[in-house]
Amino acid sequence: MMKTRGCCASICQCFFEYSTPKILVIRSFKVGTLNRITQALVIAYVIGYVCVLNKGYQETDAVLSSVTTKVKGIALTNTSDLGLQIWDVADYVIPPQEESSFFVLTNLLITLNQTQSHCPEVPKTGFDCTSDRDCKVGSHDTRGNGVQTGKCVYSTVDKTCEVLAWCPLELDKEPPNPPMLADAENFTVLIKNSIRYPKFNFNKRNILPYVNKTYLEQCVFNRITDPDCPIFRLKDMVTEANEDFQTMAVHGGVMGVQIRWECDLDMPSSWCVPRYTFRRLDNKDPVNNVAPGYNFRFAKYYKNGNNEETRTLIKGFGIRFDVMVFGQAGKFNIVPTLLNVGAGLALLGLVTVVCDWIVLTCMTKRNIYNEQKYSYVDDFQLLSNETP
């Protein structure tokens, strides 16, 4: 019974305790130096990193963006299949408009005068035969070029199944090297980028206010002489990504055009300008080089003299440029300022905790400090001190 009462008394005593900080001045060179150094580090962190570098006094907003492009340039080719031919933007930009990207044709394999007729399948695994029994009427495969007719006929070398397809069939071979449209390196592209920070009602575009029509007609982007020109030469973009345009143009590839808007809206709006960087996005690993580059097929259809539908099949290789816009804007706001200042003051409070721990564990006179730092006063002592 006595134990129960004693336990209840201890619990009540702990519950009705009140702790108040006690100021104890320690005159020690070591502890004082450690205290000031720790305080200086905290203040340097709050002012230097949080406020200056990280701009903790600002409210931020993410960028909203739209991108349009316009490619210009002329290329001349002279081949046995096509003869002398001029290529303009309507020929090599496919499709004419994409969302935040554009494709430029740099190389091609051409199969002329295809008509829907019967011809032997291209010799490959799964399509060779020795007799008609090896070919199934109506059978087709995603790796093939047409629908089998049930006949086994001679191809260029071996016997293969006859198919109903666009004949003559396309031959699987390497693209020309050097690329057919080698002049594409001198093509230029105008990239128009408009951005908005809705939280601050701030709008801007990469054609800056001082850029007039005369300047825009003659400028080409250069980091030293024309860093604000929105017209880019294709070779220069690929070169900045540490790539060779002519090598990349053979099989094609994917390039990234990165536009970064970092805007401090506490400063003049003229300081908010885009920064351009370029890098290659597709894999060019020399070891894992299966299916390299970027290519697709398209066809041009027409009627011949017999009113028969004919087409020219083109396997096009080229470079796709993806335009990616990043950015953040910041402007002074009292709320984040107070939050970060409050966090800094809280960190200063930890300095005392750190120094107390060091004194209690490392100092030779820590017992004396402990006696002076912590003391207990109950109601009876307070009442006796108040009695005259």
**Residue keyed to tokens 């980028």:** 193
Binding residues for ATP: 70-72, 188, 295-297, 315
Side-chain half-sphere CA neighbours of 133 within 13 A: 1
| CA distances for 118 relative to 137, 162, 349, angstroms | 13, 7, 87
Q: Which of 385, 346, 343, 366 is nearest to 24 (CA)?
A: 366
Pairwise CA distance, residues 179 & 295, whole Å: 13
Q: How many CB atoms lie within 10 A of CB 339?
A: 13
Q: Which residues are annotated as a binding site?
A: 70-72, 188, 295-297, 315
Q: What is the CA radius of gyration of the chain?
A: 38
For residue 236, give both structure tokens.
């220069």
The length of the chain, given as a count of residues: 388
Q: Do 152 and 132 touch, CB atoms closer than 8 A?
A: yes
Tell me the angle at which helices 366-373 and 334-362 cross, rounded to the nearest 10 degrees.
130
CA dihedral (142, 146, 150, 154) in degrees, to 10, reads: -110
Say how many CA atoms lie within 13 Å of 145 toward its Cβ: 26
